[in-house]
């Protein structure tokens, strides 16, 4: 018997990964796919799955798109995924347990990156992925790395479950994604009144690198993990540089 779960997924040109995502979701009653104009075979692939319901909406922002996808969901439980996120068997088991217990609970899952041909062992970015219908929504003022607003009555279940993030197929794509998200981040920060800091800009790369390699022990986990740590640290640095650039564009004096 399928679980009373609606999976909310926003899609755009995800033909290379959407099948892997959807094949893990066949035990859920409903998968809401909200597409923003894919020109590849994303929708054709989604249509192969009987539990998929497909909707279209012009993209405005990630949180608005995700909230709209959630609004189309009809089941008692909502599971929010991106098109490049693949649930592990352990995560699927955790979801089933929470749904069957039917209490006011939500589930936090952790992200493991697929990078340079392997799944990195160190999980990061714990995110609430499962919650009861009507008990959570995305803050539409946070454009990058969206934030869920949870009902106070929800108990967070955190048992280390993971999903695999297949974000890019190449370093070229990875750098392009960093370029896009760092620009969005800089613009969002500026509009919220945050300004460039020399101290933060010139220290954040080294602080992040030490955090990843030393405190998280990633220096001992293979060349792929070390390279990933350098790129993540560069991402933190370039966000600060682009915040300065944003100020220059707007002729704002910085320290």
In the chain, what percentage of residues exceed pLDDT 70?
98
pLDDT at 62 over 70: yes
3 state SS of 55: strand
Range list for CATH 3.90.550.10 in the chain: 3-165
Taking CA atoms, 147 is separated from 42, 129, 140, in Å, by 26, 11, 8
Work out the pLDDT band at 161, boundaries 50, 70, 90.
very high
pLDDT at 158 over 80: yes
Q: Which residues pair with 118 in a beta bridge?
A: 115
Q: Do the beta carbons of residue 163 and residue 86 sit within 8 Å?
A: yes
The CATH architecture annotation of domain 3-165 reads Alpha-Beta Complex (3.90)
**How far apart (Å, rounded) are the C-alpha atoms in residues 160 and 172?**
31
Q: Where are the alpha helices (DSSP H) in the chain?
A: 18-22, 42-46, 62-71, 89-101, 171-191, 198-210, 223-249
What residues contact residue 27 under an 8 Å CB cut-off, 6+ apart? 2, 3, 92, 96
pLDDT value at residue 96:
98
pTM: 0.84
pLDDT value at residue 118:
87
């Amino acid at each position: 018997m399928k679980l009373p779960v609606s999976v909310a997924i926003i899609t755009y040109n995800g033909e290379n990964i959407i099948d892997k995502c959807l094949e893990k979701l066949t035990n859920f009653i409903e998968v809401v796919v909200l597409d923003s104009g894919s020109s590849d075979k994303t929708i054709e692939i989604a249509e192969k799955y009987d539990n998929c319901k497909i909707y279209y909406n012009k993209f405005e922002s990630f949180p608005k798109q995700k909230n709209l996808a959630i609004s189309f969901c009809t089941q008692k439980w909502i599971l929010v995924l991106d098109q490049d996120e693949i649930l592990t068997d352990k995560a699927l088991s955790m979801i089933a347990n929470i749904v069957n217990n039917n209490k006011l609970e939500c589930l936090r899952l952790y992200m493991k990156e697929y990078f340079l041909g392997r799944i990195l062992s160190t999980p990061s970015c714990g995110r609430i992925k499962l919650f009861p219908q009507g008990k959570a929504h995305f803050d539409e003022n946070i454009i990058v790395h969206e934030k869920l607003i949870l009902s106070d009555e929800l108990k967070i279940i955190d048992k280390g479950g993971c999903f695999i993030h297949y974000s890019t197929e190449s370093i070229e794509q990875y750098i392009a994604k960093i370029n896009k998200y760092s620009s969005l981040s800089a613009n969002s920060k500026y509009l919220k009144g945050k300004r460039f800091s020399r101290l933060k800009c010139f220290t954040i790369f080294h602080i992040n690198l030490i955090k990843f390699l030393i405190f998280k022990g990633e220096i001992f986990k293979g060349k792929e993990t070390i390279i990933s740590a350098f790129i993540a640290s560069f991402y933190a640095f370039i966000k600060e540089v682009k915040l300065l650039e944003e100020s220059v564009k707007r002729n704002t004096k910085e320290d």
